[in-house]
Structure 1
Amino acid sequence: MPAWLAFSTIVLIWGSTWLAITTQIVDVPAAWSVTYRYIIAASVLWIICIAKREQLKVTPGQHVFLVALGLFQFSINYLFVYEAEKYIASGLVAVAFAMMVVTNPILARIVYKQKFTRSLLIGAAMGVAGIGLLFSSQITDFDWHNQGVKGLALCFAGLLAASTGNLFPASQTLRKISIYTMNAWAMAYGAAATAIYAIFMVGPPVLSHEASYLGGLVYLAIPGSVIAFHLYYQTIRAWGVSKAAYSSVLIPVVALALSTLFEGYKWGIPEIAGAALAIAGTVVAVASRGKK
């Protein structure tokens, strides 16, 4: 799939998963919901790998990177995000994750010596400002007391975990294996790590039999994980860590568009201006030359 089409598909899928995640915050602890999500996703990927006769054998060094990818991207990241949404509005979580256009280039600069380009800097400023406008009402109403600060801290911890996880698929170590194999192993490791955490810190497994929970779980596991992460890592390999991060700027725009259709969300002038600015910032950054 061409990188631009992969990028667009990621935005559409993950734009809808923000709504699906709300179905998971019920009577089931976040750790178990994340565990179930990635058990399903890893199982599907292993079946795909066997059907496609993908090479599943990897070196010990690659296993180290796969464990790290699984921990940061498919365990720690989601544990923090699910917990954060218990304390603050999903819009504020989206604002925090839009900062990935800042954290990804910084980490890529430190680890891979990638340079900052003017287009990326301008695009990042426009994107973050746009998302800020898009959720200006939630930012204004943010309560710095009670659990608000805790939710915000969880958001940024999840952001740093996700940005760290984004570095591994771009490494020369993991570029030598297929994305199917990489994700099959990494998601399995992530599910195992989260299950161990859940057993010791949360308690025995809990599962809701509500149709909304189960439907949301399957949607998050297959389109939201199996398909979207495959395309996301394809984009990282084609465009680089920094440009791929701009999906986090467009995802909230799609999420609110879907909210308009299904939840009656009303757009005001700040929201319209914010969406336009976020889209423009993404175009500026992604259209620049080079893999950054």
Structure 2
Amino acid sequence: MLSNRVGTLLLTALAPAVWGTTYLVTTELLPPGRPLLAAVVRALPAGIVLVAVTRRLPGGVWWWRAFVLGALNIGVFFALLFVAAYRLPGGVAATVGAIQPLLVALLSAGLLGERLSARTLIAAVAGVAGVSLLVLRAGARLDALGVAAAAGGAVVMATGIVLSKRWVSPAPLLATTGWQLVAGGLLLLPVALLAEGAPPAAPTAANLAGYAYLAVIGSALAYALWFRGIRLLPPTDATFLGLLSPLVATALGWLALGQELTAAQGFGALVVLGSLVAAQSRRRATGTKSTSGTPRTSPAAVAATDLPDTTRS
């Protein structure tokens, strides 16, 4: 059981690690001033491919549930993410977004009956402090709309995580991921066209490479791993892994852009890692009962349902 949990944590951690590359890709490869276009291109093509591969459409209540989850986890979140990325220094956006584990812990206590422990609250506050030390710069420009977008992104993503745990889809994981990506992309498409106009007539090779990376790696692969982790892990445990994003972003800034690392940043990185360890070690094996008192499906059984089912269309 322990090895299964560690493997699930590591695979889930790959998603926020990949998302940590978003700021670098956005600033270095994508055209300026088109955050909504970036969000649409990141979500819609990847979702269409996943739906086509799995050949599964939502059924019953999952038509509206897929739309709600797609709006929270993909559509609204992507829009706010890219607005924050364009209007704020990466450090400010990441620091504001680091409140997400605290929000998930509070929502999980209210909606899922998860126990809200002092250790979780301390780890969440430490995570915000560590991220601020890691990425926040003195004199960083604070744009009100950018800060609001970053905070709003944390709120909608936290809500999406908790609802994804509350509403467990009977469909394969890739199909559910595809539904959400398509729903989020379709929600964003008319907004992007109205706010930003038609896409550039002649995108550069760098633009195309950036969009392709965000769609294939940053969405299709990363979100499949992320939603798998939410199925198998308590939501608070999963969301703490999101603190890896600013850690990866800082490392890439140092490696790819030659940015200097200070002692304060090094200490911040240690605080972030410490909060991650504290959050993940707070749980011990509790048998096979879930927080609601109903039998909990084993990780192996849930993972088996994640395989694409091509016998039903």
Give structure 2 stretches of 5+ with no counterpart.
285-289, 292-313
Alignment of 1:83-232 (within 5 A): 83-137=83-137, 140-144=138-142, 148-171=143-166, 173-206=167-200, 209-232=203-226
Partner residue, 2:47: 42
Structure 2 equivalent of residue 15 of structure 1: 20
Q: Distance in 2 between matches of 1:201 and 1:254?
A: 31
Q: Deviations over 1:235-266 (max 9, x none)?
A: 11222211111122121111111211111111
CA RMSD, Structure 1 to Structure 2 (Å): 2.0
Task: Give the superposition deviation at 1:24.
Answer: 6.0
SS of equivalent to 1:142: coil
Distance in 2 separating the partners of 1:216 and 1:266: 25
What displacement does 1:78 show? 1.1
Unaligned runs of 5+ in 1: 51-55
Match of 1:53 in 2: none
Relative to 1, partners in 2 of residues 1:166 and 1:24: Cα closer, same or farther, differing over 3 Å? farther
Kindly provide the CA deviation profile for residues 266-289 of structure 1, in whole angstroms up to 9, marking residues without a partner as x: 111110000001001101101221
Q: Is the 8 A contact 2:177 2:227 kept in 1?
A: no
Q: Is the 8 A contact 1:174 1:182 kept in 2?
A: no
Instruction: Kindly indicate whether residue 281 of structure 2 is the aligned counterpart of residue 276 of structure 1.
Output: no
Return closer, same or farther for 1:206/1:45 CA change in 2, 3 Å cut-off: same
1:203-247 deviations in Å (ceiling 9; x for gaps):
334455112211111111111111111111111122221111112
Classify the secondary structure of the residue corresponding to 2:86: coil
CA distance in 2, matches of 1:231, 1:45: 13
Alignment correspondent of 2:310: none
Q: Do the aligned partners of 2:30 and 2:206 also contact (CA within 8 Å) in 1?
A: no
Letter in 1 for 2:116: F
Residues 1:254 and 2:242 aligned together? no
* TM-score of the pair, normalised by structure 1: 0.89
- Cα distance in 1 for partners of 2:276, 2:65 equals 30
Separation in 1 of the partners of 2:108 and 2:23?
Answer: 26
- 2:89–2:141: 8 Å Cα contact kept in structure 1? no
- By how many angstroms is 1:164 displaced? 1.6
Separation in 1, partners of 2:202, 2:275: 41
**Which is helix-richer, 1 or 2?**
1
Contact 1:65–1:174 (8 Å) recurs in 2: no
CA–CA separation in structure 1 for the residues paired with 2:220 and 2:141 = 36
**Which residue identity does 1:60 align to in structure 2?**
G
Alignment-mate amino acid for residue 71 of structure 1:
A
Rounded to whole Å, the distance in 2 between the matches of 1:208 and 1:90 is 28
Q: Is the 8 A contact 2:30 2:210 kept in 1?
A: no
The structure whose RCO (Cα within 8 Å, separation 6+) is larger is 1
Q: 2:34 aligns with which of 29, 34, 40?
A: 29
- Over residues 101-141 of structure 1, what are the superposed CA-to-partner deviations in whole Å (9 max), with x where a residue is unaligned? 1111112222212221233222212211111111242xx31
Report the alpha carbon displacement of residue 155 of structure 1 after superposing the two structures with TM: 0.9
More deviation, 159-168/21-30: 21-30
Give the number of equivalent residue pairs. 281
Q: Distance in 2 between matches of 1:17 and 1:207?
A: 24
AA aligned to 1:42 is G
Moved more, 57-66 or 251-260: 57-66
Change (3 A) 1:286 1:40: same
Given the superposition, is the C-alpha separation of residues 185 and 132 from structure 1 closer, same or farther in structure 2, using an over 3 Å criterion?
Answer: same
* Alpha carbons 1:32, 1:206 under 8 Å: kept: no
Higher mean alpha-carbon deviation, 267-276 vs 89-98, is at: 89-98
Q: Secondary structure at the match of 1:245?
A: helix
% same residue = 22
Structure 1 residues 22 and 208: alpha-carbon distance in aligned structure 2, compared to 1, 3 A threshold: farther
